[in-house]
Structure 1
Amino acid sequence: MTSRGWQYEVWSEPDPHVLENVRFLAGYRRAWLFDPDLVAALRAVDLPPMTRTSRPARP
C-alpha cells in the first residue's frame, strides 16, 4: 500500500532490555506479592541509593 503512503514493519521479538524492564515493573501491579511488614521494615532501613552500575551482577 505504498501508493497510499502507508508503511509497515514486521516485529518478531521485542528488545530484550525493554522486555526485562516491563516484566520487572509489571510485578508492582500485584500488591498481594509483597508482605506489608517486610516493605515497612525495608523503608525503615537507611539504604544507599542504587544506580544501574552499582547493582549486583546477575549470575
Structure 2
Amino acid sequence: MAGAGVALAEDALGGTVNLPNLVRLKNRLDFGLALFMPNRGSRANTMAGIPAGGEPIPSRPLR
C-alpha cells in the first residue's frame, strides 16, 4: 500500500503532496497534535567490555 496516502489523502493536508486532492475537499477544518518527549537520561553501570587478553574493564572505579 505504498503511496496510498498520496493517491487518496482524505484530509486538508493531502493537497500539499498531491494538488488535485484539493478539488475533492469541501468546507473542512482539520486539527492535529503531535507530542515528542524522548527520555534523555542514561546510566553507566555496565561493564565497558572484555579485552582480548582477559579481565573485563569496569566503566567506573570499583569500591
Same fold (TM over 0.5): no
Which of the two has greater strand per residue? 2
Structure of greater Rg:
2
TM class by shorter chain equals: under 0.3
Q: Give the TM-score normalised by the residue count of structure 1.
A: 0.23
Q: When the two structures are superposed, what TM-score results if normalisation uses the length of structure 2? A: 0.22
Bigger RCO (CA 8 Å, 6+ sep): 2
